[in-house]
Amino acid sequence: MEQKTGLNRLWVMALISALISFLVYFALPPSVPELARRTLGIFTLSIILWVSEAVPLYAVSMLAVCLEIIFLYPISAKNFFAPFGSDIIILFMGGFVLSKAISKHRAGEMLASRLIAPFAHSPTRLIFAVLFVTAISSMWMSNSATAAMMFAILSPALKEMPHHFSLRSALIVAVAFGANIGGIGTPVGSPPNAICLAALRSAGHSVSFLQWMLAAVPLMLILLVIAGIIICRYFKPAPDGNLHLYFKTAQPLGKEGWMVFLIMGSAVVLWLSAGLHGMNEGAVALLAATALAVLGLVDRSDIISIDWDILILMWGGLTFSYAMTATGLTDWVAALPFSHGSRFSMDALFILGSIGLSTLMSNTAAANILIPLAVTLSKAEPVSGAILAAMGTSLDIALPISTPPNAIAFSHGGITVKQMLTVSLWVTPFSILLLFVWSRYVLPAIFG
């Protein structure tokens, strides 16, 4: 019965999305180039299917690529295949492999537990330690892997704490928020970041690994402090004289764990020093992943289990960035009156749109929709617009369904939807305000 209901919903959404796409195609004025009309029609269909989640998100990306190949002829199919082998996809694939190795050999768990344990004598310090350690880990690992790792470290303590213990709830929220906020810190921290870099490079704007961190890390740190203050004031965790007994450091690393750290550290140094040696970030990620595979630190099962669906989802977004430029859709949209709105109105569109849309759907799917539009609409400030859209998708921390870390946190119990929503309703306005400040003062200083 459920399967039949699912098929019926699929057919209904397919018909609705196809109908709206055709209406968009025929409603466009004659001045729009034919291939641009088709591109916007395909984009509209993909948006509806991504938002409705009537089919898996990666399947929508595959459908979009197929439709682009069929309907955007004479553009060669090779141009739509190329993004899947782009430096951005390889960068993220390498990041996924590094994340697997860190989790497999418990390197991250050992380091995180050692960083947290010294702060386990004070509830306030412990909350801030969990927030910051989670965020720093999420800069280099997927946010879901980071949340899983942190709960593996905290689980013995959480099991000892009563369910009504306010510190228990505060720590669960701290892991979720830290993993989400930390994702903005590096290009490999979250798929929207990579989609943003690829879209900007496709439009002729180069953003380096170091430039991204210079823009994102200060914002991340400020947001973590704000989130920590709000969590502490909301939950008001009471002191517990036995608090330090709940936390124990992980076992020392073996040889494999230290090798993973060495390879990870080398990759980070090469990413940050790209201006000196000129090596592409994707090439660095591939070298790191290759070293892990050759040395046996990851095996076939690890490679199979990385998030290939996320890479396919990103692929769909990258092909749209290319198609919009190649078909002239970008130029047509940029000439529309509303695309010449004030700087404030454009920033508001990307910030509020990204946070709002990604609260209700996948961050990566939301980035696929908004980032190409941001590059297109903010012709005067495409770098700022795209970065705001990318960062906004990582700051949708309102609901358990908003992000994988939120869902993982909620599954551990001890936290209600109301509590998570209430805390986020305090954190989110600060996030929005800071993004406006960043767009006005910080991003222009870094990216000119």
Residue 42 binned pLDDT confidence (cut-offs 50, 70, 90)? very high
Choose the weakest-confidence range: 138-147, 184-193, 406-415: 406-415
Residue 249 binned pLDDT confidence (cut-offs 50, 70, 90)? low
Determine which helix (DSSP H) or strand (DSSP E) holds 252, and give its type and residue range: none
Q: Which residue has the higher pLDDT, 381 or 286?
A: 286
Which ranges of 72-165 does DSSP label H, i.e. alpha helix? 78-81, 87-104, 107-116, 123-138, 143-160
Residue 339 binned pLDDT confidence (cut-offs 50, 70, 90)? low
Mean pLDDT along residues 302-308: 91
Please provide the distance, in angstroms rounded to a whole number, between the alpha carbons at the two ends of the chain. 57
Choose the weakest-confidence range: 257-261, 391-395, 412-416, 428-432: 412-416
The conformation of residue 307, written as its DSSP 8-state character, comes to -
Phi-psi region of 143 (alpha: psi -120 to 50; beta: other; left: phi over 0): alpha
The reported pLDDT for the residue numbered 271 is 92
Choose the weakest-confidence range: 235-249, 261-275, 369-383, 420-434: 235-249
163: pLDDT strictly greater than 70: no
The reported pLDDT for the residue numbered 244 is 55
Residue 299 binned pLDDT confidence (cut-offs 50, 70, 90)? very high
Per mean pLDDT, which of 95-109, 183-197, 287-301, 369-383 is the most reliable? 287-301
239: pLDDT strictly greater than 80: no
379: pLDDT strictly greater than 80: no
Residue ranges covered by each domain of the chain: 76-447
**Residue 433: alpha-carbon gap to chain centroid:** 20
**Exposed/middle/buried for residue 39 (C-beta within 10 Å: 0-12, 13-18, 19+):** buried
Per mean pLDDT, which of 152-156, 215-219, 369-373 is the most reliable? 215-219
- Answer yes or no: are the C-beta atoms of 347 and 299 closer than 8 Å: no
Residue 338 binned pLDDT confidence (cut-offs 50, 70, 90)? low
Per mean pLDDT, which of 5-9, 172-176, 201-205, 369-373 is the most reliable? 172-176
**CA nearest neighbour of 166 among 133, 129, 135, 124:** 124
Mean pLDDT along residues 121-126: 85
Measured CA to CA, the distance from residue 186 to residue 167 in angstroms comes to 30
Mean pLDDT along residues 21-25: 91
Mean pLDDT along residues 52-72: 90
Q: Which residue has the higher pLDDT, 156 or 78?
A: 78
In b/e form, how buried is each residue of 379-403, taking b as 16+ CB within 10 angstroms?
bebbbbbbbbbbbbbbbbbbbbebb
Mean pLDDT for the chain overall: 85
- Answer yes or no: are the C-beta atoms of 334 and 377 closer than 8 Å: yes
The reported pLDDT for the residue numbered 122 is 82
The reported pLDDT for the residue numbered 164 is 57
**CA nearest neighbour of 394 among 435, 447, 425:** 435
245: pLDDT strictly greater than 60: no
311: pLDDT strictly greater than 80: yes
Determine which helix (DSSP H) or strand (DSSP E) holds 268, and give its type and residue range: helix 255-272
Residue 246 binned pLDDT confidence (cut-offs 50, 70, 90)? low
Residue 113 binned pLDDT confidence (cut-offs 50, 70, 90)? confident
Q: Which residue has the higher pLDDT, 404 or 146?
A: 146
